[in-house]
Chains A and B, each alone.
Chain A
Amino acid sequence: MADAPKETLAGKQAVLERLPDHPALKALLAWNAGALSDALFDRGELTVTVPSEKICEAVVAVKEAGYNAFEDMTAVDWLPNEPRFQLSYHILSHQFKERIRIKTWVSSDDPAIESITSVWPGVNYYEREVFDLFGIRFDGHPNMRRIMMPENWVGHPLRKDYPVEGYR
């Protein structure tokens, strides 16, 4: 964005005040202002946090606002914090030439979230990768199998409680 602020804007209030015309924020507010639990503008990148059960609706809202291309999706394990897993979706807009990060949190007991393969079929492999390496299940995914590790592998290597050298 041409008029992107240089400073860090922390919190929903600060971001909404400084970027009232941001297309993605406008779309998310129009969709469900209460569901937008947090926002951060840092190092030129906008991050919005939504509850995990509303992820599918949130990505549909930003997709309709012009953020047309799914770019990347992954998880971060914040052991021993709870909720433990952070999921980050990076969505690119060819029209605004800008990227937005949608963040959500998943707790460690029965980690599961709705799949967004219905919005972009190309998320398929990314969700399988997170399932394989973090053990987060994606409900509604057409083919929820391991992708990198062998089918009979025990454990999820990118979790922080999994040793770097593996189990010997």
Chain B
Amino acid sequence: MTVDVGTPILQAPQAEGAKDQHMVLNMGPQHPSTHGVLRLVLEIDGEIVVRLYPEIGYLHTGIEKTCEAKFYQQVVPLTDRVDYLGPMANNLCYCLAVEKLLGLEIPERGQWIRVLLTELTRLNSHLIWLGTHAMDIGALTVFLYTFREREEILRIFEAVAGQRMMTSYFRIGGLSMEPPLDLFDRIQAFIKTFPEKIDEYSNLLTGNPIFRNRLMGVGMLSPEDAIALAVTGPTMRGSGIDFDLRRDMPYSSYEKFQFKVPVSNRCDCWGRYEVRLDEMRESVKIIQQALDGMPGGPIKADAPKIILPDREKMKTQMEALIHHFKIVTEGFNVPAGEVYQGIESGHGQVGYYVVSDGTAKPYRVHMRYPGFASLQALETMCQGRMLADVVAVIGSIDIVLGEIDR
């Protein structure tokens, strides 16, 4: 069966009442300020943006299709590669969804370590955003500063998971292993100085007249438009909507942490900048609470048929060896049903929709990523503005093309 897909556009469709002097400009997919392989087809009248069409799919790898051919536990490493700036958040969302299907309860220590590392991931994601956003505007220095701190976060990830970016540390049923003994001290040392670093970035940017003029009043997105266009996360909260899944629909014991949800009513790029800076400060508070109150106990649920046994047990006990062999070769069956799990990642609301038909491989995994929806709002934010503002707006919605194209 064939479906008419329409004629390919080499030229943007003409807007109503468009005149001949409108020019169609192609931006990307290899443009450095489009944060990956985003292509924008812009219809411009002089320097003014009349219409804007994002063309995506250059990074489409068919991850959702690949998931259907893998065992449940083999999907975890795939999720790292979707939003490659927030690997732990992806792992968490997928694991929570499958655990909901299985009805697994994770021990408290496991949940707290998940919160701790997910918040570090948020810092990682926001640091990249701040560095690249400032660089797009022309403030090159900030990039070097934020990457200095990000390096330490990646070293922490390496210590805990053996990998800097593709961590796969959270597993279905808990964590892959107990974190190294000095981990909490390292994180403590890092967050002790981190608030000063945020002040340092703020000192470089907040008072900078060029930065202020490039962001203030640019990329207006009203609260109504934000909801209508399915925009979530800091971009939505920068438009004055006070909603955060961590606080309002808590998961992984977030209800035990005290933190504020920063909201700005400015509705422009500056509002989003303020919200993200404050979010970094709140993340530090959550990490501090997690370190102070870290409970003891196991990090994995008691489910030998689902979770791989410890290496030591696997080598010495027959039963553990059998379980290990069965999980690796046959996977584990998940009860039939469908679940949707949403979490708040650095970019916004991530959601995993997992459908099981009762076998060891997921029947369907759908990933909802915030960048995909935020991109739809780009035209609303850029229309009637100067071409150079498009670059500022793209930076302010914080997109990663890996999560958009999947």
Contact = CB atoms under 8 A, between A and B. Distances in A.
B interface bracket (residues with beta carbon within 8 Å of A):
35 or more
B231 A122 contact: yes
B373 interface: yes
B364 to A, nearest CB: 5
B376 A124 contact: yes
A142 to B, nearest CB: 11
Q: Is the interface of B mostly helix, strand, loop or mixed?
A: mixed
Given A43-B100, A72-B366, A88-B353, A137 B228 contact: no
B292 interface: no
B376 A125 contact: yes
Interface in A67-88: 68-72, 74, 76-77, 88
B340 interface: yes
Contact of B230 (A123, A147, A156, A157): A123
Interface stretch (A23-31, A54-62, A94-102): A94-102
Contacts of A122: 228-231, 373, 376-377
Interface in B350-397: 351, 353, 355, 363-364, 366, 368, 372-373, 375-377
A69 B227 contact: yes
Interface in A128-168: 131, 133, 135, 137, 144-154, 156-158, 162, 164
A80 to B, nearest CB: 13
A74 B338 CA distance: 13
Given A122-B373, A149-B57, A68 B227 contact: yes
A45 B353 CA distance: 12
A121 interface: yes
B353 A72 contact: yes
Given A146-B5, A148-B60, A158 B337 contact: no
Which of A72, A98, A149, A154 counts the most chain B CB atoms within 10 A?
Answer: A72
Interface in B326-364: 337-340, 342, 349, 351, 353, 355, 363-364
Interface of A: 42-45, 47, 68-72, 74, 76-77, 88, 90, 92, 94, 97-99, 101, 120-126, 131, 133, 135, 137, 144-154, 156-158, 162, 164
20 contacts: A43-B100, A43-B339, A45-B339, A71-B230, A71-B342, A72-B340, A72-B366, A74-B366, A88-B338, A94-B248, A99-B340, A121-B228, A122-B377, A125-B372, A131-B3, A133-B64, A146-B57, A147-B56, A149-B57, A150-B57
Interface of B: 1-3, 5-9, 56-57, 60, 62, 64-66, 68-69, 100-101, 103, 227-232, 241, 243, 248-249, 337-340, 342, 349, 351, 353, 355, 363-364, 366, 368, 372-373, 375-377, 405
